[in-house]
Structure 1
Amino acid sequence: MNESKLSELLEQAGERTAVNPPPIDAMRSGATRRRRRRTAVWSAAGTAVAVAAVIGASTALTNNGATPLEQPPVAASPVPENLRLVGVGHTAIAVPKSWGTNQLKCGTPTKNTVIVDPGPQGYCFLAQAAGIVSVRIGTKPAVEFRADETFQLNGVEAQRQRTVCTAWDADRPTTCTGAVLIPSRNVWIRAVSSAGDEAVGNALEQIWFVKDSIGVPGFRSLDLETSTDKYLAELRAAGFEWTIKTKVEPGAPKGSVLAVSPAPGTMVPNGSTLTLTLAG
């Protein structure tokens, strides 16, 4: 971004007024629970699940394909007090408030966490510890995503990848992975658990469609040299307003996006004003 463009953005910043993020009770969904819904058991300390033993082959389908897959329903409103919503567009996942955000080391979760717009991650082949559950929400499915079932999620077509558990070795716990793709909304949600396969199903049952709120878009996947124009175009298309402040950041291209507040994934009212921090 050149200096004239940055100056123009700074002039526009003075005309905009910031809006605080909403209370969680204001985020409501008109959806109903699916009749076959399994009960998700959450606690303020995390997810209560039993560690499943894996017998036989190192990789197995949790239901062996013998019975229909559980279809994660849209959770009913209001949001339980111990949960918070993290979203992309008008689609969100509810996770315990006790969870962190992007609690990663070398791309591996180190605590129970929701992952949204984490940015580039260095990999050091760190093994995930036992008892950890993570949920990632984004727009680009992992290359290994495969749809095992197509179903209707509150009237919207969705695809479910069956939960698969993989036994590694004596030094690494068994991990279970499942995912949901909602093509029309360009949203992908994956749950990974080293605390048993039940935690994957419980996590994917907490998908919400929210009309009056929208997730703050991420920016870290964009190229620094061209990120600002692309990001502002995305914000404008989603109906956001914004104010701008600058910060000296050695090595960052002038005018590139350094941060956004509220943070990516935060659900805010439609038309909210965000605060962007650009490299000055």
Structure 2
Amino acid sequence: MTNLTDLLERAADQTPVGPPPLDALYAGATHRRRRRTVVWSALSTAAVVAVIAGTTLAAQRGPAVSPPATSPSPPPAAMRLVGLGHIAIAVPSDWGTNQSRCGTPLRDTVQIDDPSAGQYCMAYRPAGVDSVKLGRGGPDLGVKTDQHITVGGVPALRRQTTCATGSSGVRICSGEVRFSDVWFRAESSTSAAEVDRLLSRVVIVPDQVGVPGYQSFPQVLRGVQYAAVLEQLGLKATFRSTKNVNYLSGQVLGVSPAPGTMLALGTAVTVTVVK
């Protein structure tokens, strides 16, 4: 053991020792810090994606079925809920509403009770535009349904996302989820993945209800009729009147908050009617 120790000491004395490689050490430490930053950024991004993608599709049964008792998780940051009845979808908060021409979205938007939908003109969807359209009605037999799904014990229909190139040369993808009386259609000239991502954000909100539209009814809606619809949904109506010679007395001209806004049960909606 003594000979081995002497041998190691002599070898150490004969081995030249230069200055410590500080530059290399600093570079290595910086590289490791960058790697840790990238890893934490990736983990944070994955967590946000998991929150959005993990939002479960939900629906409501017919009138005899009560919504689930459990409340959903709140929408991700910088998102807002838009819906009909107790069913809603989370969309980016900077999206507009009915940003469309003749029913064709011109920028990222939610379409609900869209006054331009019945107009006809040459309007083309630009590239990179995403949209969600909400409407009332059961499954459309004319629309091919690729998958019967059950969400929380509630049946729904999912139309597979498909893409096609329109006459303007823009590739548009679309998909749809339908429940007993509410449907959500997502369209995107960005990608098919964006359609799937949008439809993954459909939720049920037992303690909130969407403000109903008034322009999509088959007949001219008067204030007392709209108030009855609000009451059935658990909301209240307050009225303000205005003069307008182009409309019938008592006809609804507008509501606030806007259709699709999710409100707590018992909240009042201001209904503007013609004197």
CA drift at 1:223: 5.1
Distance 1:279 1:143 in 2: 38
Q: Residue 109 of structure 1 aligns with which residue?
A: 105
2:157 partner SS: strand
User: Aligned partners of 1:143 and 1:175: how far apart in 2?
Assistant: 22
Amino acid at match of 2:270: T
Per the TM alignment, residue 88 of structure 1 is displaced from its structure 2 partner at its CA by 0.2
- 1:16 is matched with which residue? none
Distance 2:50 2:118 in 1: 31
The percent of aligned pairs where both chains have the same amino acid is 38
The normalised TM-score by structure 1 is 0.70
Instruction: Give the structure 1 partner of residue 57 of structure 2.
Output: 74
Q: Specify which of 257, 270, 280 is matched with residue 265 of structure 2.
A: 270
Please list the CA deviations of residues 132-170 of structure 1 after superposition, one character each: whole Å capped at 9, or x if unmatched.
Answer: 00001111366752221111122211100111111235x
Superposition RMSD in Å: 2.5
Structure 2 residue aligned with 1:30: none
The correspondence of residues 38-117 of structure 1 with structure 2, limited to 5 A, is: 39=49, 73-74=56-57, 77-117=73-113
Q: Structure 1 residues 204, 188: closer, same or farther in 2, change over 3 A?
A: same
Matched residue, 2:246: 251
Aligned partners of 1:121, 1:142: CA distance in 2, in Å? 19
Q: Which has the higher contact order (CA 8 A, sep 6+)?
A: 1
One-letter identity of the residue aligned with 1:77: S
Count of matched residue positions in the alignment of Structure 1 and Structure 2: 213
Deviation for aligned residue 1:40: 7.2
CA contact (8 A) 1:106 1:121 kept: yes
Which of 111, 114, 118 pairs up with 2:114?
A: 118
State the alpha-carbon separation in 1 of the partners of residues 51 and 245 from structure 2.
46
User: Which one has a bigger Cα radius of gyration?
Assistant: 2
2-structure distance, mates of 1:249, 1:174: 43
Please point out which of 113, 131, 135 is paired with 1:134. Answer: 131
Q: Is the 8 A contact 2:222 2:273 kept in 1?
A: no
CA contact (8 A) 1:258 1:279 kept: yes
User: How far apart are 1:93 and its partner, in Å?
Assistant: 0.5
Residue 125 of structure 1 deviates from its aligned partner by: 2.8
Partner of 2:186: 191
Contact 1:102 1:116 in 2 (8 A): yes
Q: Distance in 2 between matches of 1:142 and 1:250?
A: 38
Structure 2 length-normalised TM? 0.71
Equivalent positions of 1:230-249 (< 5 A) are 230-249=225-244
Of 142-151 and 85-94, more deviation after overlay is shown by 142-151
Structure 1 residue identity aligned to 2:185: R
Long gaps (5+) in structure 2: 1-48, 59-71
Give per-residue Cα distances to partners, 1:173-232, cap 9 Å, x unaligned.
11011000011xx11000011111111000000001001110011101125644434322
Q: Which has the higher helix share?
A: 2
Q: Kindly tell me: are residues 173 and 40 of structure 1, through their superposed partners in 2, closer, same or farther at Cα, counting changes over 3 Å?
A: farther
